[in-house]
Amino acid sequence: MNFILREWKRSDIKSLVKYANNPLVAMNLTDMFPHPYTREAAKDFIRKMNKFKPLQVFAIEVNGEAVGSIGVFPNFDVRRNNAEIGYWLAEPFWGKGIMSEAVKLMVQYGFDTFGINRIFAGCFGRNIASHRVLEKAGFVVEAHFKKTLVKNNELVDEVVYAIRKQH
C-alpha cells in the first residue's frame, strides 16, 4: 500500500481524531498519548510537532488522509548519539507493511539529519506486531525488562530494540 511521510497540517485534525481515538491504538502507546483522543488534543499535537526544526515527527498519509504518525527524537548530553523512534498507525491499515517501510525511511532520515549512530525503540512485551515491524526494519533486541512499565494499572514487560548506523 502506498503512503507518504509529510509534515502535519491543521487540516489533519479531523483524521487524527478519527484514527487516534481508538483504545487498541492507545493501549500500546505511552500515557502521553491521550485516550479518548479529542479535537483539542489533535490541535495541540499538530502545533507542538511542527515547532521542531528540523522536523522530528511526520504524518503517515494514505489516500490523502493522515492515518498515523512516526517520529525520531534525538537524545542529549551523554546520550547525544542516540535517538528514540516512536510510531502508531490506524487500525484499518495494520498488517499492510506500511509501518515497516515507514520505520526504514525514518531510520535513514534520523541518521542523515541528526548526526546520531543509534536509534532505539521501547515496545510493550505484548505488542508482537510492533516487534515484527522493528525486526523487518533491521532492529535487534538489546534488552528485555520484566514487568517494568505500567499501562492501565498493569505491570508489563518492555523490550528495547535498536539499530546502528552502518559506517
Q: What is the pLDDT of residues 110-138, one digit of tens each?
A: 999 999 999 999 999 999 999 999 999 99
pTM of the model: 0.94
Cell 498507525, located at residue? 89
Identify the pLDDT of residue 166.
87
Which CATH code, of 3.40.50.300, 3.40.630.30, 3.40.720.10, 3.10.450.50, is assigned to 4-164?
A: 3.40.630.30
User: Contact 23/91 with Cβ under 8 angstroms?
Assistant: no
Summarize the confidence of residues 87-104 as an average pLDDT.
96
Q: What is the pLDDT of residues 53-95, one digit of tens each?
A: 999 999 999 999 999 999 999 999 999 999 999 999 999 999 9
Beta pairing, strands 118-124 & 154-164:
antiparallel
Identify the pLDDT of residue 78.
93
Query: What mean pLDDT, rounded, does the chain reach?
Result: 95
3-state DSSP call for residue 90? coil
For residue 167, what pLDDT band results from cuts at 50, 70 and 90?
Answer: confident
- E strand or H helix that includes residue 129: helix 128-136
User: Contact 93/67 with Cβ under 8 angstroms?
Assistant: yes
- E strand or H helix that includes residue 67: strand 65-74
Identify the pLDDT of residue 165.
95
